[in-house]
Each structure stands twice: as C-alpha cells, then as structure tokens.
Amino acid sequence: MNFSFSDQEKQLFQEMESALTKEKNVLEPGVLQTEKDIQKTLQTLQKNLFPLGYLDGHQDKTGKGHVNTLEMMRIFSRCQPSLFLGVEYSCRIFNELIKGASDEHQRKKLLNSLHIDNLPDPQIIGTVASCEDFVETDTHTSTVLAQVVDQKILLTGRKDCVINAGIADWIAITGNLNDKGAVFFVPSKAEGLDIESRSNTRIFPELVMATIHLNNCEVDQAQMISPVPLDRLISRIQWYENMAYIACSLGMMDQCIQTTTSFAKTHRSENKPMFVHQAVGFSLAEMLTLKQTAELLAFRAAWALDTNDPEKQILNHCAKVFCTETAEKVASKSMDILGGQVFHSNHFSEQVLQNSKFAQLAGTSTHLARVSIGDAVMKYK
C-alpha cells in the first residue's frame, strides 16, 4: 500500500481545487436559497469537474482509481459538503445503479430511453431512491410494488431521504415486479409522484432531500431494469454511498481543524494566546491524531477496492464507522475550544456535528456496519 501521490496526481488535485475556487461565491454557506439555485449550481459543478475525470473515477488519467478519487472527493467535500453529496448521488451513485443492467444491450436501451448518450453525463442530475427505513435498509426486499395494468407499469409505495429528489431529471427507484427485484427510472415531475420536502434544513442545508410517495405512478417499460438481484445491487450502491460519506467526513474534519487552529492562534484567554494553554493544545493534538488515523483507514478501504482485496467490504464498513464517528468527536472538541460563538449563528463546527450524525445513518448505518464487522471477525481463523 502506497498512498503517496505523484507530481501528475498532485497537479490533478490542484486543478480540482482551481475548478472549485472559480465557483467560490456560490459555495459559501447560505448563498443558495432555493432548489432552483441548487439545481443550477450542481449542473455547473458537474460541467466543470467532468474534464478532470472526477465523475467517472478518472482511471484513464492516473490509473489509481478509487484511491485517487477519494482524495478528489475529499477536496470537494472540504469546500462544500452538501453540494459534494448532491454531485455524488447525481453522477457516481446514479451511474453505478445503471451499470446494474444485466447486459450491454439492456444498458444501451435504457440510456437511449433516458436520453443519455454516455455515462457520466454532466448535463443530467440523477439520484437513487432505495431507502425505506432510514436506519435499517433491507437489501433483499422493497415495499415499492409495480403492477402491470393494461400493459402499463404502475408503482405504489414510498422512499425516504431521497437526495436530489426535487431537482433530479431521473430518480432510480428500487422495487419489485412479479416478486422479482427491479429498478424503475422516473422523472421528478411524473404524474403520481409526490415529493415531500424535508422540514429540517440544518443538516447539510444545501442538500435537496425529500420523501417520495408513489401513487400509481406510471413507468415506461423501456425505463426499467428487471429482473435484478436487489441484495447485490443495493449492497453495491451502499458501497459507493459509504465512500462518499467517508470522504465527506475527512473533508469536514480538515475544515474543522483548520478553523479551530486559526481561532486558537488569533484569540486570547487569560491574557495569553489560546494555543499556549495545555488543555487547548491537547485537544488540538487529539483532533489531528484522530483525523490522521481516519485518513489512513479511509485510503486503505479505497486501496482494497482498487486491488479487489478479499477484505474490501469489511474495510469499507470499518472506514464508514470510524470516519463518520470520528468527525463527530472532532467537531465536539472543536466546539469546546471555540466556545459560545458557535451558537451565535450556524457555525461550521456545529454544522459538522449535525452532519456527522446524518452520515452515520446514511448508506450502511454504523449499527449494521458493526454487525457486518462482527460477523467477519467471527469467521477469522
């Protein structure tokens, strides 16, 4: 394992930062007030990041695949974690679900019906709706049911916490047709699809998220994948969701430590700079140690995915648990140092604390990840 980067790769990361810097004005917290603003910004970001290979893993540019992608994801999430997740669901996770088509012919037929020329398509905002119980997502079954009525496919059911729901061109919905797994692609303006926007916007405030209700929502037969093994497909999707929340946690920790360190250097307590107080120094040291440890485990998980290591799934779960929970600990220690100012407005450290709790539940929840890790430990000889 070698997680150092070549000069060419470092140049790619600089290009990534430059592309994001150009959009700095809209990446500031609180700038994007409406879903239309967020939709327009996502499309701009996807267009700007596409030439860098960010949306497709850029294996052709560097050959490092997921390790390299993880660093680019981290850079993005450090700038704007909410929009980072929006792009991840729109492109990488949505694309991975389309790859679940049984063969190349079915995939091309599907893309043609969705008016997508190639993947990834930076002009398309997509999303995936697989979550029904936010904490305990069942990878084997779905309560969304499809019925064939007069040669039309009608969907009934609901999905929770659908990211990009109100701004997506296409929503990929997992469900069942004739007692077999299926994925249905529905436009966000489809008749029979009701989108219930979330009321709590304090968690990832620039992330469009909603519950969707399907009431005899009609689907074109060409805009579906069936049959499909839901357990394998959803597990694969959660894999990429986990990597997104791992990267998001790293980026938030980076920003949290930077903000706290700057504060400790510029503010005084008891007529002394804050950083000379032993308690402050110890807290900063622990924050950095936790972040560095999380970073190593995250890149180990990405490396295992690149090399098809037998432990890739368990490492993915280990990194998901440790990184998301560490982000919460780092944010908490940051708030201890920053003091009461974090409550005067929606301060970044307070935001990280709330975001990290959401990240622990999203994808493979830390509870289910621990169950998976425990099962793997018991199988070791």
pLDDT for position 188: 87
Cα torsion 359, 164, 23, 43: sign: positive
pLDDT for position 96: 87
**Residue environment code for 159-191, b if the CB has 16+ CB neighbours within 10 A, otherwise e:** bbbbbbbbbbbbbbbbbbbeeebbbbbbebeee
Write phi, then psi, for 227 (nearest 5 degrees). Answer: -80, 160
The whole-angstrom separation of Cα 216 and Cα 174 is 15
User: Considering the domain 231-379, what is its CATH architecture?
Assistant: Up-down Bundle (1.20)
Q: Which amino acid is present at 246? A: I
Query: pLDDT of the chain along its 381 residues, tens only?
Result: 666 888 998 999 999 999 999 888 888 887 888 899 999 999 999 999 999 888 875 444 444 588 999 999 999 999 999 999 999 999 999 998 888 776 788 888 889 999 888 888 899 999 999 988 765 566 666 889 999 888 789 999 999 999 999 999 999 999 999 888 899 999 988 999 999 988 777 889 999 999 999 999 999 888 998 888 888 888 889 999 999 999 999 999 999 999 999 988 888 777 777 777 888 889 999 999 999 999 999 999 999 988 889 999 999 999 999 999 999 999 999 998 888 777 777 788 888 999 999 999 999 999 999 999 999 888 864
pLDDT for position 60: 45
Beta strands in 150-251 (DSSP E): 152-163, 170-177, 180-186, 193-197, 209-219, 224-225
Boundaries of every domain in the chain: 7-98, 124-229, 231-379
Query: Helices then strands (H, E): number in the chain?
Result: 13, 10
Q: Any long-range contacts for 328-332 (C-beta under 8 Å, 24+ apart)?
A: 328/353, 328/356, 328/357, 328/360, 329/290, 330/253, 330/256, 330/257, 330/287, 330/290, 330/291, 331/252, 331/256, 331/356
Q: Which CATH superfamily is domain 124-229 in?
A: Butyryl-CoA Dehydrogenase, subunit A, domain 2 (2.40.110.10)
